[in-house]
Homo-oligomer: A and B are copies of this chain.
Amino acid sequence: MTSHISHTSVDCRDAYALSRFWGAVLGYDGMPGEPDEPGDEECLLVSPDGAIRLLFIEVPESKSTKNRVHLDLEPVDGTREEEIERLLGLGATLLADRRRPDGGWATLADPEGNEFCVLRTRAEREATGGL
């Protein structure tokens, strides 16, 4: 017996706004035929192939400490630097910069302060090895 991951849930203050941010980051959309709307307390994003789902759920309590679970992203197109500029333009903030020419990562926060990291692109990794 095993379980599979149905979805990853993210507690938040504004489910619609945060789902819009992450939808733009990952290229995910809502469930076909079930569009989320401003004010919805639960908003679901689905990856284009349907395999990965993120559920944003409004909760009364605020974020109070660094999240113990976070997403690590690999830019699909362009360069890591271009992708980080795009994410900052979408409303992310830079928390910590551990980028090196041959690796490392940048730690960003989404508009509600949830930490996430941006690694190098696959092409960048294959050019030098390492993470």
Chain A interface residues (CB < 8 Å from chain B): 1-12, 25-27, 51-52, 55, 59, 61, 63-78, 82-83, 86-87, 114, 117-119
The answer to whether residues A71 and B10 also contact, given A51-B51, A65-B65 and a CB cut-off of 8 A, is no
Bound together, the chains give a CA A25 to CA B5 distance in angstroms of 10
A46 → chain B closest CB, angstroms? 13
Q: How many whole Å from A86's CB to the nearest CB in chain B?
A: 5
Does the CB pair B69–A6 fall under 8 Å?
no
Chain B residues within 8 Å of A10, by CB: 68-69
In the bound complex, do residue A26 and residue B11 qualify as a contact, i.e. CB atoms below 8 Å apart?
A: no
Q: Are A6 and B77 in contact (CB under 8 A)?
A: no
Beyond the given pairs A1-B76, A52-B52, 6 more chain A to chain B contacts, judged by CB atoms under 8 angstroms and listed by A's residue number, are: A4-B26, A4-B74, A63-B68, A65-B65, A68-B69, A69-B114
Determine the distance from Cα of A4 to Cα of B27 in the docked complex, in whole angstroms.
8
Residue from the set A11, A59, A68 with the largest chain B CB neighbour count within 10 Å? A68
